[in-house]
Amino acid sequence: MDLTLSLSKGEVRRTGDIMTFRTLDTADLAGKRALVRVDFNVPVDGGKVADDTRLRAALPTIAYLSKQGAKVVLLAHFDRPKGKVVPEMSLSFVAEPLSKLLEQPVAFASDCVGPAAAEVVNALENGGVALLENVRFHAGEEKNDPDFAKALAANGDVYVNDAFSAAHRAHASTEGLAHLLPAYPGLSMQRELEALDAALGKPKKPVIGIVGGSKVSTKLDLLNNLVAKLDRLAIGGGMANTFLFAQGHDVGASLCEKDLADTAREIMDKAKAAGCELLLPVDVVVAKKVAPGVETAVRQLNEVQADDLILDAGPESAQRLLAAMDESATLIWNGPLGVFEVPPFDEATVSAAKHAGKLASEGKIVAVAGGGDTVSALNHAGVAAEMTFVSTAGGAFLEWMEGKTLPGVAALEG
Ligand code: ADP
Ligand code: MG
């Protein structure tokens, strides 16, 4: 099921977490300068783009704007130059690979504001594309300085934000600009917003969440938001140990934040009050150390030994999770269920991922997942393409899962 590719047209109104915005197809674009915020903060190896996923993510919006006859002016940040010109952090190396992917020339301007930018933008023909230098070379970017936003806006007639992954930051190019020009989400941004809305804003019920990963402490806001919204929440990974410990189980030498036992109990109480059923492991896979192919054992919760490390959910826990997915219409997932980087501790994560991918591709569930390690785990399981949507937005995705308003998204509301 691909509910996310058939984007809505016209005005999109939402009653859930995601707000109202005008879609790009309503914009008057021919001959207009479209300032497009993209995420080109790509991994680099030897001065070259090492992974072009982020460049590819921007292609649909750039191609659409170009086809509509807009002059496409790309704004992006790269690395952390902290408001100063740092030549090694120039975006110039991105122009050529982008041009290859787009199959059209990409002009490069050595500054994102002022005469150097204006000269390149003014030379664009309708449908042409230019990339401006790193917006973070100016201190006004991260300060969301109104004068800097105005200087950026001087090169545009409309503003398009296609960088969901930067939308949790209120910077001039992600937030300030949206107040100065007619503002629209780009196609990737819209796709992400609609997928997230389908998962948590206005989801088909029942909704199940999976939250895993190493620590409760990094996911407190997320857990608190989810238990208030979901019908079921499976907790896995290292953080499940803290919950098991809080329930009085011995977790041996496992990763466990014992000082958060009270917090874990509060979350369990909150879930109960909100009618959210928590699924904690009922059995666990243990080993004496974390290494590939070490001797492992499956233990019931009352069998964990003092020198055991709990490194994965057990088979019975995994089966229960799969059965709970079968009874759900929506799945939202962040965090692996075990130390998936070190087989065989990837088993519960892989079986849950495969099942989610199968249900999603059969149209039985809307399955949305995100988070750095979660994306790796889904790729490792070979199911990323089968999921309804996989967010690569990292911090922005997590803040959205925490129920926070993302400034870059809120500013598009119109
Ligand atoms: P994401 O990046 O998707 O948000 P996290 O960073 O929260 O996910 O969690 C991923 C990490 O959690 C992985 O490195 C994984 O090895 C670790 N992890 C999962 N289960 C356990 C466990 N039982 N003990 C220790 N670490 C674990
Ligand atoms: Mg991580």
| Percentage of the residues of the chain whose pLDDT score is greater than 70 | 95
From the CA of 75, how far away is ligand 2's center (Å)? 27
Annotate 15-38 with b (16+ C-beta within 10 A) or e (fewer): eebbbebbbbeebebeebbbbbbb
pLDDT, one tens digit per residue, over 184-237 is 999 999 999 999 999 998 899 999 999 999 999 999 999 999 999 999 999 999
Supply the pLDDT for residue 16.
Answer: 47
Q: What is the structure's pLDDT at 13?
A: 52
Active site residue 215: yes
Number of helices and strands (H, E) in the chain? 14, 19
User: Which ligand ends up closest to the CA of 336?
Assistant: 1
Average confidence (pLDDT) over 169-183? 97
User: What pLDDT, in 10s, does the model give residues 363-376?
Assistant: 999 999 999 999 99
**Catalytic site includes residue 143:** no
pLDDT in tens, 109-150: 999 999 999 999 999 999 999 999 999 999 999 999 999 999
C-alpha–C-alpha distance, residues 378 and 353, integer Å: 6
pLDDT higher than threshold 50 for residue 5: no
CATH topology of domain 195-401: Rossmann fold (3.40.50)
Whether this model's pTM surpasses 0.85: yes
Q: Which helix (H) or strand (E) holds 188?
A: helix 187-196
Q: What value does the mean pLDDT take over residues 315-335?
A: 98
Q: What is the per-residue pLDDT for 202?
A: 87
pLDDT at 101: 98
Please check the confidence at residue 17 and state whether its pLDDT lies above 80.
Answer: no
**What does the alpha-carbon distance between residue 77 and residue 40 come to, in Å, rounded to a whole number?**
7
The answer to whether residue 395 is catalytic is: yes
Q: Is the pLDDT of residue 322 over 50?
A: yes
Atom of ligand 1 nearest to the CA of 375: 3
Question: What's residue 10's pLDDT?
Answer: 63
Antiparallel, parallel or unpaired: β 309-313 and 283-287: antiparallel
Per domain, the residue ranges of the chain are 8-188, 195-401
pLDDT at 129: 98
Q: Which fold has domain 8-188?
A: Rossmann fold (3.40.50)
**Catalytic site includes residue 372:** yes
**Mean local confidence (pLDDT), 79-97:** 98
Mean pLDDT for the stretch of residues 264-292: 97
CA quadruple 394, 398, 399, 404: dihedral sign: positive
Atom of ligand 1 nearest to the CA of 215: 7
- For residue 21, what pLDDT is reported? 84
What span, in angstroms and rounded, lies between the C-alpha atoms of 16 and 301? Answer: 39
Q: Which residues line ligand 1 (CB under 6 A)?
A: 212-214, 237-238, 255, 310-311, 334-336, 338-339, 341, 371-374
